[in-house]
C-alpha cells in the first residue's frame, strides 16, 4: 500500500467530498440549472436592477456609442470618444466618429518598434530573465493606456472615420497579433545570439529589417492612411460644410490641439507599495519610443470622485479604466455588486479588500470606457452613467449604469484635466516618478 501524501486528493478525501455533495439538496437544482444556462443567468439577482434607475442629476449629453467589435482597442475607442465630443461641440455635430483604424494602425506599428527596442536593451539577458519573458509574452496587443493614446494623437494627428474606415483586420486583430509577436520573439532570440557571439553591432541592422517587414504587414492589413483629405459634415441645423486639404496633423491642431496635454491620469491603488499623493510609471510600458512615459498619480477614491464630478459638471466626459470581469454582463445595463449571487450558489465568497484583490491578482484594470454622468444625493454619488464601445445593441443603446459599490470596488483609473487638481497634486505629477515593475496591476490595461 502506497504511503499517504498530505494534501493529495486521495480516495478517502474524494469519498468524503462526494458524500458531502450528495447530502446538500441544493446541488441537483443548481446542476440542472447549469446544464441549460450559463452561470451568470443562473445566479442573476433580478431584484437588484431597480436599485439603479436610468436617471442622473449630472449628465453630459454625448453622441451615439461606437463598436470595437472583435478587438481589444477599448482605450483607443474611449480616448477618441472623449476627443470627438470636443469636435462635435465646436461644429454642432449630432453624429460623428474619429477613425479608430487610423490610431490603431500607428499603435500597432509603434508598439512593435517599442518591443524591438526593448529586446535590444535586454539582448544580454537569457530567455529565463523575468522582464524579458514578460515582454515576450504579448509584446504587441490591443491594450493600452491614456498616455500611450496621447503619444499617438500628438505624433500622428487624427482623421474622421470616413477618411480612413475600419477593415476586417482592424475589427478582428488576433491573427495579426500572433504574426507580429512571432516576429518579435524570433528577433529577441536572434539578438541574444548575436550579443553572445560578440556581434552586437549586427543587432540594429537586423531590427531595421524586421521592422520594415512589420510595417509593410500592418499597412497591408489596416490600409494606407491618407496624407490629405477633405472634411465634409452637416451641422445640427442640417447645413453642409466642407474643409479642404486637411492633413491628419492639421485636423488635430484645428479641432483638438494641445488640450490633450492638459490631462492627468489618476489611479486608486490602496496598496502599501503606492503611497497616496505620489506619482508612478511602469517600466517597459509604452508605444512611442520618444513619447511621454506613463504617469499615474495615486489618490484616494474620494479624491478621484471629486475630480471626476467636477469635470462632469463642466460638461466634459471622463476616460477611465476598470475591471469589468465580475457582476455584469454585456447585455444587461445594470452593473452592481449585488446583481450576481456567487456565494449562495457555490459557497465561495468573492468579496475581499481592494488592496488584497490587487496584491493577489484577483482584480486589475481590463477595460477602458467613458463616464458621462453621475447621480448625486446630498453631494454623494449613487450611480454613474457609462459610455461603452460594445455597440448600441447592448445595455441601454450601448450605455450602462454602474452602481456606487461597483464603482468604488472596480474602478482603478480616471483621466481628468489638471485644472481639477490641487496645486499640490499638480506638483506631485511633475516629480520624478517611482518606477513599477512591468507586471504591476496599474499597467494591465495595456496587456
Residues identified as active-site: 74, 367, 388
CA-closest candidate to residue 98, choices 70, 121, 79: 79
Q: List C-alpha distances in Å: 433 to 23, 279, 390.
A: 57, 5, 34
By the 10 Å C-beta count (0-12 exposed, 13-18 middle, 19+ buried), 96 is classed as middle
CA-closest candidate to residue 48, choices 439, 437, 368, 329: 329
Mapped onto helix, strand or coil, the DSSP state of residue 269 is coil
CA-closest candidate to residue 327, choices 404, 399, 413: 404
By the 10 Å C-beta count (0-12 exposed, 13-18 middle, 19+ buried), 409 is classed as buried
CA-closest candidate to residue 285, choices 79, 111, 74, 109: 111
Q: What is the DSSP string of 205-238?
A: HHHHHHHHHHHHHHHHHH-PPPSSEEEEEE-TT-
Listed in sequence order, the DSSP H helices in 44-173 are: 74-91, 100-121, 130-137, 146-156, 168-171
- How far apart CA 398 and CA 2 sit, in angstroms, is 60
Grid cell 442573476 in the structure block, residue: 44
State the sign of the Cα–Cα–Cα–Cα dihedral 120, 126, 130, 134.
positive
- How far apart CA 260 and CA 245 sit, in angstroms, is 24
Burial state string for 276-288 with b = 16 or more CB within 10 A and e = fewer than 16: eeebbbbbbbbbb
318 membership: H or E segment, kind and range = strand 318-322
Amino acid at each position: 500500500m502506497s504511503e499517504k501524501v498530505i494534501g493529495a486528493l486521495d480516495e478517502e478525501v474524494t469519498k468524503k467530498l462526494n458524500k458531502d455533495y450528495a447530502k446538500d439538496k441544493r446541488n441537483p437544482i443548481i446542476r440542472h440549472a447549469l446544464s441549460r444556462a450559463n452561470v451568470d443567468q443562473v445566479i442573476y439577482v433580478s431584484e437588484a436592477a431597480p436599485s439603479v434607475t436610468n436617471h442622473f442629476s449630472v449628465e453630459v449629453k454625448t453622441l451615439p456609442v461606437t463598436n470595437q467589435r472583435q478587438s481589444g482597442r477599448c482605450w483607443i475607442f474611449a480616448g477618441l470618444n472623449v476627443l470627438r465630443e470636443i469636435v462635435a461641440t465646436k461644429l454642432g455635430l449630432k453624429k460623428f466618429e474619429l477613425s479608430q483604424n487610423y490610431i490603431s494602425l500607428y499603435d500597432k506599428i509603434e508598439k512593435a518598434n517599442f518591443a524591438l527596442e526593448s529586446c535590444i536593451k535586454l539582448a544580454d539577458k537569457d530567455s529565463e530573465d523575468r522582464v524579458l519573458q514578460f515582454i515576450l509574452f504579448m509584446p504587441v496587443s490591443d491594450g493600452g493606456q491614456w498616455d500611450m493614446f496621447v503619444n499617438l494623437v500628438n505624433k500622428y494627428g487624427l482623421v474622421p472615420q470616413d477618411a480612413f474606415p475600419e477593415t476586417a483586420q482592424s475589427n478582428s486583430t488576433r491573427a495579426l497579433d500572433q504574426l507580429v509577436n512571432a516576429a518579435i520573439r524570433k528577433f529577441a532570440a536572434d539578438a541574444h545570439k548575436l550579443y553572445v557571439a560578440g556581434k552586437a553591432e549586427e543587432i540594429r541592422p537586423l531590427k531595421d529589417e524586421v521592422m520594415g517587414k512589420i510595417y509593410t504587414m500592418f499597412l497591408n492589413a489596416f490600409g494606407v492612411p491618407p496624407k490629405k483629405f477633405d472634411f465634409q459634415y452637416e451641422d445640427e441645423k442640417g447645413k453642409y460644410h466642407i474643409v479642404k486639404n486637411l492633413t491628419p496633423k492639421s485636423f488635430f491642431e484645428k479641432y483638438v490641439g494641445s488640450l490633450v496635454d492638459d490631462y492627468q491620469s489618476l489611479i486608486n491603488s490602496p496598496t502599501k507599495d503606492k503611497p497616496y499623493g505620489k506619482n508612478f510609471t511602469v517600466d517597459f510600458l509604452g508605444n512611442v519610443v520618444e513619447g511621454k512615459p506613463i504617469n499615474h498619480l495615486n489618490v484616494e477614491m474620494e479624491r478621484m470622485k471629486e475630480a471626476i464630478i467636477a469635470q462632469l459638471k463642466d460638461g466634459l466626459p471622463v476616460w477611465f479604466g476598470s475591471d469589468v470581469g465580475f457582476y455584469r454582463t454585456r447585455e444587461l445595463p445594470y452593473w452592481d455588486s449585488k446583481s450576481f449571487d456567487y456565494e449562495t450558489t457555490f459557497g465561495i465568497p468573492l468579496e475581499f479588500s481592494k488592496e488584497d484583490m490587487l496584491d493577489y491578482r484577483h482584480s486589475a484594470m481590463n477595460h477602458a470606457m467613458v463616464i458621462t454622468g453621475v447621480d448625486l444625493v446630498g453631494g454623494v454619488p449613487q450611480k454613474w452613467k457609462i459610455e461603452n464601445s460594445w455597440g448600441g445593441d447592448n445595455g441601454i443603446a450601448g450605455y450602462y449604469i454602474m452602481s456606487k459599490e461597483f464603482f468604488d470596488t472596480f474602478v482603478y483609473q480616471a483621466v481628468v484635466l489638471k485644472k481639477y487638481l490641487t496645486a499640490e497634486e499638480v506638483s506631485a505629477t511633475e516629480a520624478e516618478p517611482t518606477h513599477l515593475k512591468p507586471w504591476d496591476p496599474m499597467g494591465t490595461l495595456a496587456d
